[in-house]
Amino acid sequence: MAAHIVDQRTKALQKPATEIILRTHTEPSEDLAQERKRATFDVQELSYALNGGKEMLDKKHRFAEILAKTTWGDKSRRYFLTREEEYVGGLRAALGIWEKIKSEGLSLEDGALMRSLVDFPGGLELHIGMFIPSIMSQGSKEQQAKWMPLCMGLQIIGTYAQTELGHGTFIRGLETTATYDKQTQEFVIHSPTLTATKWWPGGLGKTATHAIVMARLMVEGPDGRMKDHGPHGFIAQLRDMDTHLPLPGVTIGDIGPKLGFNSVDNGYLSFDHVRIPREDMLMRFSQVTPEGRYVPPPPSNSKASYATMVFVRADIVKNAGSTLARAVTIAVRYAAVRRQTAPAPGERELQNCAATLLPLLAAAYALTFMGDAMMAMYRQFEKDRDRGDFSALPELHALSSGLKAVCTWITADGIEEARRTCGGHGFSRLSGLPTLHQGYVQNVTWEGDNNVMCLQTARYLIKALAGVRSGKAVSGSADYLNAAASELAPGARSPATCDACWEQPDVAGGALRHAAARATAAAAETLLAAGGGRLAFEGKPWNDNTVESIRAAKAHCAYVLHRTFLDSLAALFALDTLERGGGLAALLEDGFVGASQAAALRRCHRQLLAALRPNAVGLVDAFGLPDYLLNSALGREDGDVYRGLLDMAAASPLNATQEGPAWEGVLKPVLAAQPRSRL
């Protein structure tokens, strides 16, 4: 083993070699400054607009600083935690924020902002997000009076147990039963099959002491026969308050690691004839009387629950925008300093990635505006509802279903696309992108599988078109169907006569509108053919033709998304959707777009990319995402990405010792056993 001497002669020898290297070497940190100079708009003004004003933006950054200094908000070891550490850490963070809100008298909005910044979901998610809201919305006055103080004082921690091993989206298929025993005035909660085991509820595994259990209510009817009244909610205590051990007859556990979200203890739960008092069925809308008479809910109830869904989905759409914004911020900033696979030495990667990243950037803006628009629609609906007007609900429900699907698809796939533009370093957790994607992809499944969501929208669109054709006009986002006859007339042509024409909102949007109308008409046609002349929204005709229906829902949502924001980003979003979403094929097929127009569309698409290129970094800066939130070596605002990777890697658990955890027990017996010949 040679001694290591770095004498003057060695340094002198190395000097000219180093000079050769430094001739082509560049420091990454100046790159972003250059890029920022190229922006052709006022980044700060846009940032204020996107963040709800200067005050809100400042508050976000102030909170980020405060949280980074707390023990539970510090993120320096976030990517190195074991499953157990993640679980405990997520809980500590949730309790820390809860405490801060109480001690500093912060608003719920401030609390939500802190939770989004700490970005560490834990065992309290469903206590806050489902247990409390359900008691407020479905509990009787008496039940709210009894349970809310216990919830707000954290005397109990609740979760919401609906999904079962064998039954997810199809709620009517739930197998857990709640059988009323009028002799003791109790419900017997029971899991009659293995597939009736509750599976997935967050916080259920090791945290929650109570749960709202969705179970099929069974009550003996006047005829003495047991009657199934379908799924209802019951408040059940699961764990002993002093020992935290499961109560007798209750089996609980953690369901194991997931693709992401591992700080949450998603759990399983089964019941062996567990009795709860009659009073603990959620009784606001339907009741079981002491003597065992079932009182069904009023019809308006279903409408109310629809409204809740609309709110949740509007929130999902908004979240899709902010999540995609995070991914695009990281990828664009890194591409602006990266020279790895640049075609020519010295050139930056952003040149190569523009065709991928700029459309994603446009989509992030589209989703952000759409989320705001949906919230506004929901607020308006609330006003109408309080006047007893539910007329907007069907459209809201249909629109929110499709948008939930399309927006979460765009974001889930967009994060991965953005990650791939980062090359090898995008595969490192230190880039922040793997964790972001793994935590996000569940959104395409939960709150209604995306394909199922699209089918709900399609059903609405096809019915609306049928209505229009029988003289019944449709209002709201699908109002363009009123003109379907002329829109889809054989002679209908896109007005585009030049490349730049495709930048015009009415041309690009018109193409999306036409594609949407056409897709709905095509789906209706297929359905009519399958149904032997009548529209069947269930059974074989419907189930065998879901592809067309889903295509219609997607086309409709793309058009609606485009309508929500109008500028060059919007045009790029539209053209990219047409080119990659396959919409262009449909437009060529029915002759709305001719060959030369399609060629012009593609040229325009390229020109837009070139035009937007200088604003790429400015547009991501405008999202105003603190480094604390991004927690990414590649997405750092200062662009010093390589130092960032080195600094973050130092904390890797494998680096705790120089020789590593395998030396003593595994490697040494093999290597040290060998003769040392020349080594």
Q: What angle do CA 111, 113, 117 make, to 5 degrees?
A: 115
- Asked if residue 181 lies in contact with residue 150, where contact means CB atoms within 8 angstroms, the answer is no
Q: Considering beta carbons, is residue 337 or 478 the nearer one to its own copies?
A: 337
> What residues between 69 and 88 interact with its own copies by CB under 8 A?
79-80, 82-84, 87-88
Cβ-based neighbour number of residue 148 at 10 Å: 14
> What residues between 86 and 105 interact with its own copies by CB under 8 A?
87-88, 91-92, 95
- Chain centroid to CA 28: how far? 32
> What residues between 349 and 368 interact with its own copies by CB under 8 A?
351-352, 355
The verdict on 613 binding its own copies (CB under 8 A) reads no
447 included as an active-site residue = yes
Q: What b/e sequence results for 151-165 when a residue is b if at least 16 CB atoms lie within 10 Å of its CB, and e otherwise?
A: beeeebbbbbbbbbb
Q: Which two tokens stand for residue 149?
A: 């103080």
Shortest spacing between CB 437 and its own copies, in angstroms: 8
Residue from 76, 193, 300, 380 that binds its own copies (CB under 8 A)?
Answer: 193
User: Has 408 been labeled as part of a binding site?
Assistant: no
Stretch 528-557: interaction string toward its own copies, x if CB under 8 A: ----------xx--xx--xx----------
- Chain centroid to CA 81: how far? 23
Collapsing DSSP states into helix, strand and coil, what is residue 130? helix
Stretch 438-477: interaction string toward its own copies, x if CB under 8 A: x--xx-xxx--x-xx-------------------------
- List the catalytic residue out of 86, 447, 487, 548: 447
Q: Is 348 left (phi over 0), alpha (psi -120 to 50) or beta?
A: beta
The verdict on 238 binding its own copies (CB under 8 A) reads no
Shortest spacing between CB 99 and its own copies, in angstroms: 9
> What residues between 252 and 281 interact with its own copies by CB under 8 A?
252-260, 265, 268, 272-276
User: Has 163 been labeled as part of a binding site?
Assistant: yes
Bridge partner residues of 190 (DSSP): 177
> What residues between 134 and 163 interact with its own copies by CB under 8 A?
150, 153-157, 163
Q: Considering beta carbons, is residue 252 or 282 the nearer one to its own copies?
A: 252
> What residues between 575 and 594 interact with its own copies by CB under 8 A?
579-580, 582, 584-585, 588-591
Shortest spacing between CB 661 and its own copies, in angstroms: 5
Cα distances (angstroms) measured from residue 645 to each of 120, 152, 237 = 22, 42, 47
Q: Considering beta carbons, is residue 16 or 105 the nearer one to its own copies?
A: 16
Q: Which stretch, 192-200, 309-317, 320-328, 554-562, contacts its own copies (CB under 8 A)? A: 192-200
> What residues between 198 and 217 interact with its own copies by CB under 8 A?
199-200, 205-207, 209, 216
The verdict on 667 binding its own copies (CB under 8 A) reads yes
Residue from 145, 382, 427, 475 that binds its own copies (CB under 8 A)?
Answer: 427
Phi and psi dihedrals of 402, rounded to 5?
-65, -40
Distance CA 496, CA 596 (A): 10
- Indicate the burial class of 657 (C-beta count within 10 angstroms; 0-12, 13-18, 19 or more): exposed
- The upper half-sphere exposure of residue 580, i.e. CA atoms within 13 Å in the direction of its Cβ, equals 13
Bridge partner residues of 235 (DSSP): 212
- Asked if residue 187 lies in contact with residue 224, where contact means CB atoms within 8 angstroms, the answer is no
Residue list, annotated binding site for FAD: 163, 202
Please give the positions annotated as active site. 447
